[in-house]
Amino acid sequence: ETPIAAPNDFRTSQLLAEHAANNLSRVLPADDSPAGRFRGRVGWLATALPELELPTLDDDWIRNHLAELCVGSRSLDELRNAAWLELFQGAVGYERLRDIDRLAPVSITLPKGRQVPLQYELGKPPILAARIQEFFGLQETPRIADGRVTVLLHLLGPNFRPQQVTSDLASFWKNTYPQVRKELRRRYPKHAWPEKPE
């Protein structure tokens, strides 16, 4: 890609911002990058708890703030590697970053100590996907956003395929696990499948 040539930095950043506004998919950080994950969490939280009055960080918001990010960049490739995370964090306000982490955490720690990342998607409950055995000892479904939102659990078998999707872990242990346990014991006899997963 050829960098945009311009007589001064201001004009260069202006031209780049105009070009980038029409090519957002080429400049946005990847969804699984730190900036992409932060954007997803804030966007989800802005929708789930509108009273927080968080910026949505949606495409329109980005188009309105591209000029700030374009300073010092001369191509779309350079812009893709710009300080997106800092831009998003600045928009939220550094004093609110702890609130974001508390209300829409990056991960949840399961009973065996592993931190499992949450997957956020606008308008849907966040997903926590882990092997069934990692949920042993957990009786209730985790909740986030000060207890207002129940996490959707993807309970995976040893092959990392979903065996059950639930937002009610207590009901799963009581009603569904006994049948799932029989099937998993047959298919995966080397794994532990206790009657009472505590």
Q: Please name the residues in contact with 21: beta carbons below 8 A apart, sequence gap of 6 or more.
A: 63, 66
pLDDT category at 3 given cuts 50, 70, 90 is low
User: Would you give the DSSP letter of residue 111?
Assistant: T
Query: In the predicted model, is pLDDT for residue 100 greater than 80?
Result: yes
What pLDDT, on the 0 to 100 scale, is given for residue 7? 47
What pLDDT, on the 0 to 100 scale, is given for residue 8? 59
Each domain of the chain, given as residue ranges in start order, spans: 9-101, 106-187
Query: In the predicted model, is pLDDT for residue 6 greater than 50?
Result: no
The structure's pTM equals: 0.85
- Determine the distance from the C-alpha atom of residue 18 to the mean position of all C-alpha atoms in its chain, rounded to a whole number: 29
What pLDDT, on the 0 to 100 scale, is given for residue 73? 87
Number of Cβ atoms within 10 Å of the Cβ of 137: 11
- List pLDDT tens digits, range 44-97: 999 999 999 999 999 999 999 998 899 888 899 999 999 999 999 999 999 899
- List pLDDT tens digits, range 140-188: 999 999 999 999 999 999 999 999 999 999 999 999 999 999 999 999 9
Query: In the predicted model, is pLDDT for residue 2 greater than 70?
Result: no
What pLDDT, on the 0 to 100 scale, is given for residue 5? 47
